[in-house]
Amino acid sequence: MTTTDFTPGPIDRAERVYVAGHRGLVGSAVWRKLESEGFEDIVGRTSSELDLKNRAAVFEFFAEQKPKHVVLAAAKVGGIMANNTYPHDFLSENLQIQVNVMDAAVEHGVERLVFLGSSCIYPKLAEQPIHEDALLTGHLEPTNDAYAIAKIAGILQVQAVRRQFGRPWISAMPTNLYGPGDNFSPTGSHVLPALIRRYDEAVQSGAERVENWGTGSPRREFLHVDDMAAAVFHLMEHYDGPEQVNVGTGSDVTIKEIAETIAKIVGFEGETVWDTTKPDGTPQKLLDVSKLAGEGWTSQIGLEEGLRSTIDWYREHADTIRQ
């Protein structure tokens, strides 16, 4: 079966939506978006309440809660260092989480499911900006290939469910995200929150030097997480297709430029040193967002505006955020 019975348009606000990973950067933004849209029955479980690697517990949860729709934003996520050091954990845990959730969602009749992946699914040397068609056309970036393969398997599972059961499930692939609720831990975080923390700590301690990994020349695209949540919700209501949809802004900056902007906002006036013995990762990662634009959505929050509010959030929550 290749067609679904999807009718684009508003989802009934009384229907139950399960946001898997609702305390994370992505899940919490999706939760806020659903609330602001008037959804009255949103459910979530922390990993200590429901470990999604525990297949029996996941099936029990779906049998009890019977969500009508699912946003799958639970995953083991990390930066270059964590991905490079623990490839087995990134592969195995992500496969377990997504297979358990999708299998239970198939069994319990979930109507719409959005699977969240990431732009690292595309080949390291994919033509820029990266179009959805670049999937599986070349070698992956080796530092996060295990994570990427798990995410690619997730896209294939969504496509298989569509073909076999005709459910209007979809996949969305956001670019690098940032915003309130991000992971600012020194070892587990992505580049942008890591830079915010490093520069802010330098200001607080009066340090004269900040050292960053790599050359600073790789180009990256950053999307505010509230924009991402708006895009994902838009797709849930309007998109029905087997192909994953890129979610981004359509423009990129160098890591050096982003570091300079953060340094300016936090008020760091010292020197920045680039440790060129450390890996840079993919040279450029810019998503082609024409498919998303064709579905009627473009990003709203500018980078400097988004950085300022994220830095304000970080400073307000510095004592309580994830370590």
Ligand X SMILES: NC(=O)c1ccc[n+]([C@@H]2O[C@H](COP(=O)([O-])OP(=O)(O)OC[C@H]3O[C@@H](n4cnc5c(N)ncnc54)[C@H](OP(=O)(O)O)[C@@H]3O)[C@@H](O)[C@H]2O)c1
Phi, psi of 170 (to 5 degrees): -140, 165
> Whole-number minimum distance, CB 106 to ligand X, in Å?
19
171-210 footprint of ligand X as x/- string (CB under 6 A): ---x-xx-----x------x--------------------
Q: Is 198 annotated as a binding residue?
A: yes
> Whole-number minimum distance, CB 146 to ligand X, in Å?
13
Cα angle 244-247-252, degrees, rounded to a multiple of 5: 130
> Whole-number minimum distance, CB 226 to ligand X, in Å?
13
Q: Is 313 annotated as a binding residue?
A: no
| Residue 162 binds ligand X, judged by CB under 6 A | no
> Whole-number minimum distance, CB 181 to ligand X, in Å?
7
87-106 footprint of ligand X as x/- string (CB under 6 A): ----------x---------
The rounded distance, in Å, linking the Cα atoms of 198 and 104 is 41
Q: Residue number with the shortest CB distance to ligand X? A: 24
Q: Is 319 annotated as a binding residue?
A: no
> Whole-number minimum distance, CB 91 to ligand X, in Å?
13
71-90 footprint of ligand X as x/- string (CB under 6 A): --xxxxx-------------
- Positions annotated as catalytic residues are 147
301 CB-side CA count, 13 A: 21
- Total chain residues near ligand X (CB under 6 A): 25
Stretch that binds ligand X, among 19-27, 106-114, 135-143, 253-261 (CB under 6 A): 19-27
Q: Is 212 annotated as a binding residue?
A: no
Q: Is 294 annotated as a binding residue?
A: no
Stretch that binds ligand X, among 49-57, 204-212, 256-264, 280-288 (CB under 6 A): 49-57
At a CB cut-off of 8 Å and minimum separation 6, what does 141 contact? 120, 124, 148, 281, 282
How far, rounded to the nearest angstrom, does the alpha carbon of residue 23 sit from its chain's CA centroid? 13
Binding-site residue numbers are 21-27, 116-119, 151, 174-177, 190, 198, 213, 220, 280
Binding-site residue numbers for substrate are 198, 213, 220, 280
**Residues binding ligand X (CB under 6 A):** 21, 23-27, 46-47, 51-53, 73-77, 97, 116-118, 174, 176-177, 183, 190
